[in-house]
Structure 1
Amino acid sequence: MSLVDVKEEAAQLPDAWRSVVLGRVGTAAVKVLRMDGRELEAEVHGTAEVLFVADGVLELEVEGEGLTVGAGKLCRIPAGARHAVRAGSRGTLLIVEVAEGE
């Protein structure tokens, strides 16, 4: 058993929007990253992912629809859904995903 301070892990990352794997559960990876307000281009994954905002806010666009995810909330992105990060996203984000092809 181990205890992880996700906010501290995110704060120590050298670059915003570059995640690090905190652990694995089965075939799923649990990642953390630091958001810095920049927008990111749209992307599509072959598997679903879960985005949990530990603190701050995540501004998303999923399949053309705007969505604000506040602290303590999570968003499930279905496999194949086009999604982008809008400007203004700041704080700590946890991502749970299964690598494509697994």
Structure 2
Amino acid sequence: MPLIDFNSLATAKAEAWRSSIVGEIGSAKIKVLRMDAQPYEEEIRDYNEALLVVDGKLLLQVGHETVVVEAGQMYLAPAGTAHSVLPGSHGSLVIIDV
């Protein structure tokens, strides 16, 4: 398996909040994106989603709770969990869809 530098890939992305698949393991897709401090609308996925902050900070709204995910931390959003990104989220984000 090749070496993947998530920060370099995220930083090089011209458009924020647009993920690209960098690998697959079984049915899991590994994606990377760049966060740019702008909010992102609520979404509900029909699959589990792991949100791993590689650099920066992710601010999530999950129900009535604000969840702060720092660099080196991961939030697990089970299928069917509504979540949105709050303003101020920035850095590199890896998303693992299962």
TM range (shorter): over 0.9
Unaligned runs of 5+ in 1: none
Cα shift at 1:94: 0.2
Q: State the partner residue of 1:12.
A: 12
Separation (CA, whole Å) in 2 of partners of 1:29 and 1:12:
20
Separation (CA, whole Å) in 1 of partners of 2:40 and 2:11:
20
Aligned residues: 98
| TM-score of the superposed pair, with normalisation by structure 1 | 0.93
After superposition, the C-alpha distances for 1:22-66 in whole angstroms (9 at most, x for unaligned) are 100101100000000000111101111000000100000112211
Q: State the partner residue of 2:43.
A: 43
Q: State the partner residue of 1:33.
A: 33
Separation (CA, whole Å) in 2 of partners of 1:26 and 1:62:
28
Residue type matched to 1:72 in 2?
G
- Report runs of 4+ in structure 1 exceeding 2 Å deviation: none
Q: State the partner residue of 1:67.
A: 67
Residue type matched to 2:53 in 1?
V
| TM-score of the superposed pair, with normalisation by structure 2 | 0.97
Aligned CA-pair RMSD:
0.7
- Percent same amino acid among aligned pairs? 43
SS state of the match for residue 87, structure 1?
Answer: coil
Unaligned runs of 5+ in 2: none
